Structure 1
Amino acid sequence: MCYNYTIMKRIVLIILSLFLIFFNLEANSAQGLMEKEIITVAKDGFTIKSTFVYPKIKNQKEFPTVVLLHSLGYNSQWWGDLQDNLLAKGYAVLAIDLRGHGKSIYNARLSKTSWKSMKNSAYAKYPDDILSVINSVKEENTKRVFFDNWAIVGADIGASAGVIAADKYPVRPKTIVMISPVVRTKSLYIPVNIAHLDNVDFLAISGTDDTDSKEAAKYLSKFAQAQFLEFTSESKTTGMLMLKNDTGLSKMISEWVSEYLN
């Protein structure tokens, strides 16, 4: 009896989940947006989940794309107004839950894995995870080319992983925005990668009291081959919390990105 109850409970949850996905797609469709959940299996079998959203514009076959990579301990739901601002400018947005975060918590054995228990060797896989997701998006959208004209916005470890991924990807992003940048985090060390990214302009954003990020930005700027602008937010917090506490920051970032994507 308990066994049947468990099965029925799972069926109900699955039906509810499908309904919510359908409802979300319908709502976005009404607003002129197409939203897709991207499920990517990494090389080691870890499941990475992302949300890919782009405007529904008649006869437009490609969109400039912005990849959003969150802070350590957060997830892709924390971007707030930034995603809306980017979509309003006509860009596609790929928001990735990095492994161990958000919906990206199942390893090859289908066991839950949290970032809190991950070793540096797992964090080292972040850049390749990002590239795998990008390739998944391209494969599922063969009629559109989303990554010939693209940018990255990342916060702390997300920024570092994005820099390394950009160095590995054949088409350079037009710009990279780093919120609370770090020189080394976990096993991700980025100065050399920044040096490789010629013709890529950087925007490094630090909180008012975040001396570590300010010092990191100053050091990283020495390796940049193009423009490297340092900006101090009014917020006294770090990472994703700056977007919440500095209400003008999302608009500022979207305006910066719009100078590069066309």
Structure 2
Amino acid sequence: MAERITYVTNDGVTIVGNWVTSPTTIGAAILLHQYPSTRQSWSDVQRILATRGIASVAIDLRGHGESIKGPDGIQLDYQVFKDEEHASSIHDVRGAYEWIQARGIERDRIVAVGASIGANLALNFLSEEPHMPAAAAISPGEEYHGVNTFENAEYISPHQSVWIVSSADDEKSYVASEQLDKMIVSEQKIFERIKEAGHGMDVFTKNPKLMEQMADWLRDRILNFT
């Protein structure tokens, strides 16, 4: 059963999330949805992660879903965001990371998972946070709404792990994923090349076993991170 949680980012945005625990928690995941989805898109993934001992918080990125309260009560709406406002969603990720730590889970047991723009945010946050063991990126791109991965890929450390999945029919993401695979120097790196599976969370709809493969990979990265 998901618990509705809230926290305030360091730039004053109230973020709403769904927190799902595991009976035997080994770590936690931050789940970042694609544009223009919401946190509910991760419900199946949260269930599968919990069976691997991974708690998770799926958040509504600023301006999406219930995360519409900005500083001084300003209403936020992603539909009118400029690129810099989308890019500021990295503060939402940082807030989730700190919220999980406040629940007693150590920072080197927290991973990030994202789809589309959420994938870009997950990779960028990994590049900023050397204690994070891994990130999984579903249909990442070079740039979505001002969130650029190529500028940050070189800052992902060799000891951090990256799992990328992209479908060949999603040309923009596939080409970018090929390039990211070359740019990232991780010692534990997987690029799942699939076909005719679309973009973002559609790849799980077309390939349900990928969810379990990703969950297993994340579990191993959390357990083996040094």
Q: Distance in 2 between matches of 1:250 and 1:151?
A: 15
The answer as to 2:154 corresponding to 1:191 is: no
The whole-number CA distance in structure 2 between the counterparts of 1:44 and 1:234 is 40
Give, as a single letter, the amino acid of the residue that structure 1 aligns with 2:59. Answer: I
Structure 2 vs 1, CA of residues 75 and 235 (structure 1 numbering), >3 Å: closer, same or farther? farther
Residue 65 (1) aligns with residue 32 (2): no
1:98 aligned to 2:57? Answer: no
Q: Hey, what's the Cα distance between the residues in 2 that align with 1:83 and 1:171?
A: 23
Following the alignment from structure 2 to structure 1, what is the Cα–Cα distance between the partners of residues 84 and 175? 26
Partner Cα distance (2:177, 2:192) in 1: 9
How far off its partner does 1:109 sit? 4.2
Q: Which portions of structure 1, spanning 4 or more consecutive aligned residues, are displaced by more than 3 angstroms? A: 109-112
Aligned-pair CA distance for 1:192: 3.7
Please say if 1:37 is aligned against 2:4.
yes
1:203 maps onto 2:163 in alignment: yes
Return the offset for 1:85. 1.1
Residue of structure 1 in register with 2:112 after alignment: 152
**One-letter amino acid of the counterpart of residue 179, structure 2:** Y
Q: Please tell me the residue identity of whatever aligns with 2:69.
A: Y
Question: If the length of structure 2 is used for normalisation, what is the TM-score?
Answer: 0.88
Quick check: 1:121 aligned with 2:89?
A: no
Deviations 1:196-222 (A, max 9, x none): 111222221112411211110111122
Q: Could you tell me which residue of structure 1 aligns to residue 214 of structure 2?
A: 253
Provide the C-alpha distance between the structure 1 equivalents of 2:44 and 2:201, rounded to a whole number of angstroms. Answer: 12
Matched letter for residue 97 of structure 1: D
In 1, distance between residues paired with 2:100 and 2:27? Answer: 13
* Residue identity opposite 2:135 in structure 1: I
Q: Residue 52 of structure 1 corresponds to which residue in structure 2? A: 19
Contact 1:192-1:223 at 8 Å conserved across structures: no
Partners of 1:242 and 1:114 lie apart in 2 by 27
In angstroms, what is the RMSD of aligned CA positions?
2.0
Taking structure 1 as reference, are residues 235 and 102 closer, same or farther at Cα in structure 2, changes over 3 Å only? farther
Structure 2 unaligned regions, length at least 5:
none
Q: Which residue identity is paired with 2:68?
A: I
Hey, what does 1:176 align to over in structure 2? Answer: 135
If the length of structure 1 is used for normalisation, what is the TM-score?
A: 0.77
Q: CA-to-partner distance for each residue in 1:150-205, whole Å, 9 max, x for gaps? A: 22211111111122222223512x22111111011222222242211112222211
Contact 2:54 2:219 in 1 (8 A): no
Which runs of 5 or more residues in structure 1 are unaligned?
1-27, 29-34
